[in-house]
Structure 1
């Protein structure tokens, strides 16, 4: 009888110990589960934040692509006008008794084909603000050189210089003009003046459209 009681006591002790161990393991497992849940929650939050950033970046990229497409359409619709020309490779031109329109025959650039080397006249293809630059050169002694820039039949600019000895003289100027479609701009050599150009392209007439109106 005493043996049975001792055995029963030992059995109860073992069961209690096992239950305690099992409870400890369950508690540890619950903590591990809670830790994993927290990690999963943090990971989910980070993934969500990354997805939000990705969505925002995609939206910005889509917006930028639309802006680029819009700018490309605007540039495609915007008239492209620019020219740059040299006078001649033959040396001196003039002097003549009367004013003459200079024909800048060496065409370096003529985007839009608004400048005519046959006539020396630039014709505005659209209404807008245009930039023009002229450089004049002369290397003959005791000689005047000078030109005038005309807008239609109105003189808008004149400059000249006198070569009183050896060497050369040069002069240049710039003007901005608001032109209507079909307006013309050209360079006139002043009567009894001369001008010089050669393969070094010393005398240049250039212009371009700043913006259409």
Structure 2
């Protein structure tokens, strides 16, 4: 009888131990499944974030393309002349063509003499300076963002003129203007002769 009881106790303990091992194994399996699911959710979250960023970039690209297409239908051009006598100019001082004849798109400022490129693209500019002589030359330059595009020269003879035409690429927001160049000439310009003009040819796509 005692032997039978001992066998029963041992069988119970063996079953309990086996059940505990199975339980621990199941818990380990569940923990591993949880970690795998957590990793998978993290990966999917990163993929969703990446796809969202890609969609935003594509949306921005489409919007920019639409804006460029709409802008390409817009016209920008100006023509202005000097409507007052200029008796003196400092070196690198802007020549302000104060009388606006045409200013489609309002990109030319007659108070500063500067044209601001509304879009990155190709533009054409032309400038003419006329001196009243005074036995000295008159020099000027057509500049973009402070860098010379072309130099204009008018000789000592009265009402001589210098003209330049330039086709150039201009970045959005850059300024183009005409300025006096040098210190040894006579920067005197009579009213009604000198002129500055330009227009957009096409926008960069």
- TM-score normalised to structure 1 length: 0.58
Q: Does the 8 Å contact 2:87/2:188 carry over to 1?
A: yes
Q: Are positions 1:116 and 2:97 aligned together?
A: no
- Out of 189, 195, 202, the residue aligned to residue 204 of structure 1 is 195
Q: Which structure 2 residues correspond to residues 132-147 of structure 1 after superposition, within 5 A?
A: 132-147=125-140
Distance 2:144 2:90 in 1: 22
Q: CA deviation at 1:158?
A: 0.7
Which residues of 2 match residues 6-155 of structure 1 at below 5 A? 78-88=73-83, 90-91=84-85, 93-155=86-148
TM norm structure 2:
0.60
Could you tell me which residue of structure 2 aligns to residue 176 of structure 1?
Answer: 167
Q: 1:76 to 1:162 in 2, by over 3 A?
A: closer
Distance in 2 separating the partners of 1:179 and 1:76: 15
Query: Which deviations, in whole Å up to 9, do the C-alpha atoms of 1:60-91 show, x marking residues without a partner?
Result: xxxxxxxxxxxxxx788512100000112x32
Q: Which runs of 4+ in 1 moved over 6 A?
A: none
Instruction: Give the C-alpha shift of residue 97 in structure 1.
Output: 4.2
Deviation per CA, 1:91-141, whole angstroms, max 9, x where unpaired? 2x2433432011111000000000001111110001111000001101233
Q: 1:156 aligns with which of 137, 149, 152?
A: 149
Please report how far the alpha carbon of residue 160 of structure 1 lies from its aligned counterpart in structure 2 after TM superposition.
1.0
Query: Larger deviation: 119-128 or 93-102?
Result: 93-102
Which runs of 5 or more residues in structure 2 are unaligned?
1-68
Q: CA RMSD in A?
A: 2.0
Residue equivalent to 2:53: none
The number of residue pairs the alignment matches comes to 134
**Larger CA Rg, structure 1 vs 2:** 1
Does the aligned pair in 1 maintain the 2:139–2:182 contact within 8 Å?
Answer: no
